[in-house]
Amino acid sequence: MAKRECQCPAEATLALISGRWKVPILWELFRGKRRFSELRRLLGEACGQKVLTQQLREMERDGLLRRKVYAQVPPKVEYSLTPAGKSLRPVVDAMVRWAAGKRRS
């Protein structure tokens, strides 16, 4: 099956943030660095460890976040946004404003 080329430029953005938990992860990381366990707690039980790990790996692969591992026992891993990840803030803010407006109408 041939891969379809993007017709709408916004599809490139959607490809990066598609996934049930990517926007909520971005939202939490806009507030600063987070450890894996913090993200898990903040996102709630609906986001399982396997799914969170997968979403974080995809976001790291796509250059949206950085994963820093500290050499200590027990291991400590922190996630933070790259400049590309931070550049999505206006996109997410627009989504929040749109959702707030829909609730009122």
> Which listed CATH number (3.30.70.270, 2.40.50.100, 1.10.10.10, 3.30.565.10) goes with 13-104?
1.10.10.10
Tokens of 100: 């707030």
pLDDT greater than 90 at residue 10: no
pTM above 0.75, yes or no: yes
CA separation for the pair 49, 53 (Å, rounded): 6
Q: What angle do CA 18, 96, 31 make, to 5 degrees?
A: 85
pLDDT in tens, 42-99: 999 899 999 999 999 999 999 999 999 999 888 889 999 999 999 999 999 999 999 9
Peptide bond connecting 74 to the previous residue in cis, omega within 30 degrees of 0: yes
Contact 25, 55 (CB under 8 A): yes
Domain ranges of the chain: 13-104
The CA R_g of the chain, rounded to the nearest whole Å, is: 15
